[in-house]
Chain A
């Protein structure tokens, strides 16, 4: 088969249905597009911010022993969350700046840069925030040891390590998959942009 018209005929067999009215589902999507709640980055930012507020409020209102170690612990956790919020905000802003009306080459180039940036974020910065947060929680445990009974301390201590190891395993796996997917995307977009 080397006749373009033959290919064109095959293509043209595709149904040409009646011009539809704008479906309700699309109208709903359009109505919602301005709502911040539709953006995954902003949802993450909201969740992380709430966690930060709970931690700080909990510490200053409920936790009575404000010594150096507990301050260090809370600071580590707060810094980890703030850095993560900053990363999400950066992603949100960069994504907002992608101009869907650009030509394909330019757009593919921008997408490639955006995903390269995401790859960087999934490297050291992500591990930095996770480790800092875990250090914070670990430091808090030294305080729990003082204020909790032996049984409850052991219970929370074991629980902490189980969660930390599970978190480490799943985050590592997730980052590995994410980096692989992003790397393939960057390669594809760079192929177009060249």
Chain B
């Protein structure tokens, strides 16, 4: 039990930030939801701790849990009738205190507009998870990941350009 706790604490400290950021982008910047998701992920990590042992790629496993927990979270959102889009204003320029923050809000809004797999792929790419590892996490072939990521980036560029234009027009 003591060994488990030490191991878990180590995993928590090493991965909390990545898990939280991935969750945060999945729920379009809603911090309380992201925190809830992060806790759910680590409860699952604890439950599956024995299956981690000796596995060289703990990060792949943790990302798998994170991605799958995000997917499962959709049910909860529907049950509570939460519309994530309500959490993020379209007229984001007024809310953001400076341009950097505004751009981050645009980016989150753009990620939010993607389909589920697009959201997850884009976040993993932004977290600098290697393409091969993304393929292992998602179960999508390497080549397919490359194609999907390329398309998703294209959508993000388009969306961000549109947001920038809207901002300049205001």
Q: A20-B16, A107-B71 are in contact. Are A101 and B107 (CB under 8 A)?
A: no
Tell whether B13 is near chain A: CB-to-CB under 8 Å: yes
* B71: contacting residue among A1, A13, A184, A192, CB under 8 A: A192
Contact yes or no, B157 A2, CB < 8 A: yes
| Residues on A with beta carbons closer than 8 Å to the beta carbon of B43 | 26, 29-30, 33
Q: How many residues of B contact A (CB 8 A)?
A: 51
Main secondary structure on A side of the interface with B: helix
Chain A: interface size category: 35 or more
Minimum Cβ distance to chain B for residue A13 (Å) = 6
Contact yes or no, A111 B138, CB < 8 A: no
Tell whether A16 is near chain B: CB-to-CB under 8 Å: yes
Contact yes or no, A192 B117, CB < 8 A: yes
With A and B bound together, what is the CA distance between A148 and B114 in angstroms? 64
Contact yes or no, A14 B104, CB < 8 A: yes
Contact yes or no, A13 B100, CB < 8 A: yes
* B104: contacting residue among A10, A100, A181, A192, CB under 8 A: A10
A1-B164, A21-B9, A191-B116 are known contacts; what are 11 more A-B pairs with Cβ within 8 Å? A7-B157, A11-B107, A25-B39, A100-B48, A100-B68, A101-B68, A103-B64, A103-B137, A104-B117, A107-B71, A111-B71
A residues apposed to B, CB below 8 Å = 1-2, 4, 7-8, 10-11, 13-14, 16-17, 19-23, 25-26, 29-30, 33, 100-108, 111, 115, 181, 184-185, 188-189, 191-192
